[in-house]
Structure 1
Amino acid sequence: MNNNEILYLYDAKLCNPNGDPDEENRPRMDYEREVNLVSDLRLKRYIRDYLYDLGHDIFVRMVDGKVVNAEGRTKGFKEFTEDWILENLIDVRMFGATMPVKSDNKTFIGPVQFNWGYSLNKVELLESSITSHFSSETGNSQGAIGKDYRVKYSLISFFGVVSGKRAEKTRLKPEDLELLDKAMKYAIVNQATRSKVGQYPRLYLRVEYNDSQTILGDFRDYIVLSEKVENVRDIEEVSLDITKLVERLINNKDKINKVFYFADEALELVYEGRVVALKNVLADFNLVEVK
């Protein structure tokens, strides 16, 4: 398998993309820069749950509705061989895992990795009080009052890589990457909870190279967000300049095999000063649209 690099954007409106347990579950923030942060583990959780809902077994999940540790999860395995694990657990093929078992610890380094996501815009937090119909203590006739923290609007960007060398070791399949593409388009919407409703995927690129050596670097360094109004609150109030990114890809076209993509029409893309459709500016590449 060859190397791949990934750019992924989704937005969050009046929701909590990734609560910080050390901050009363407030959205994770770089307060100095007013930037919203989302961990790679949060993104992987969406992907895992989506794949599990499709019928693919995963390693990192609950058992019989209960949270278990890694050792507890392995107790349900029919076998504990490398062949069985890599054939049956798609998230191990993708993300790797450590399986601590007294007699035979197994560690797999996942070929698919993301760094932390961050917002392209400055983000404001919304804090409100919420009241439950259930009391905080038995005998208390009033409902419990808590805090609800959300972002007003955040356009979040992730960068990821697929290591061709590591893919060989975990036996990652081309079909797995096709499922990853679909998960990036559908998982966030389909895995929505009360605090996560309001998130939508806006842009996805998976650039597949011709070898297992090529790395062009973090694609987020080559995109620029423009805000049409102060205090952005909606996807229609921004545009994304992809000129440098497209030029980066064109200049390395001989290293690229295919480009897998989807682009939401609501996100305005700009190339060389004009609004464009992504498929048009990348028309010279072997394009595969994620359906």
Structure 2
Amino acid sequence: MYTKTQEVDSPIKPRVQDETGRLKAVVLGTAVSVGSAPSMDEVYDPSSRAHLLAGTYPKEEDMVVEMEGFQSLLQSYDVQVYRPTVLENCNQIFARDIGFVVEDTFFRSNILPLREKEFEAIENLVAHIPEKQFQVCPEEVHVEGGDVMPWGDYLFIGAYTQKDYPQQITARTNQAAIDFLTEYFPQKEVKAFELIKSATVANQNALHLDCCFQPVGKNKAIICPDGFMQQEDVEWIRSFFGAENIFEVTADEMAGMHCNVFSISPEVVVSEKHFTRLNTWLREQGLTVEEIQYAEISKQGGLLRCSTLPLIRQY
């Protein structure tokens, strides 16, 4: 079942135009050799912090089982699933952060220095991407894949541009990233959203855009209004998708990662099985909801979208 990046033997031509196109190839992170629980000084998200304090921090063996279940589901839909090379005692669950694809270009992210070695684990994979389709973000461009969402003619970006950006450990995407992507994709309407940040309170922190907002289907979205700093951004999303096409989650549901589902196609969404209210709404919209156990993963401040890095979607 476990597919290592070394086994790639043909070129990978990335293509992602939106969040819900039919998934054909994806990198799924790994919880193997995730390492021991961090100390309070080492933790860099409020959810992990809360579970450390409560004594409920997830165990490696439980997270491995959850991720293997996700892989099996993806493969049942004929998706090529790649896994990172396992690095000893390294948390490699959240593959979304280390890179992202927009249109036909794979971007290598500039992420937290503590996490830079995670990219080494997929270098054998990205080596199969044609050079003209691979882009390294400039050093001053801080960006993680969880903050980048292509949606047709639009490119949605979650960011934090306040003066205290350097001091905010949960701020991962800056103004330079907005400027860079705006220039790189002049044909797209780049829409940036300012997100709330907290290193200590989970329901007052949107670590990435996909923690408080997620398009699904062809014209619908999940949103937590409390994840945005500016009310006008919330109103813009309501206007863009239409209030009747939006499911709104609470701040506590945001902390539980209810926005962080993952689309296999415009008709199929993977969701955590305990998201009863959300999953009911998704089905009412005519979507097929594949429910899986992923609650242990959520304790580290990420979920289904966070642990995936789509390479190819079919249109």
TM-score (ref. length: structure 2):
0.23
Pick the structure with more strand per residue. Answer: 1
Higher-Rg structure is 1
Query: What TM-score does the superposition give when structure 1 sets the normalisation length?
Result: 0.25
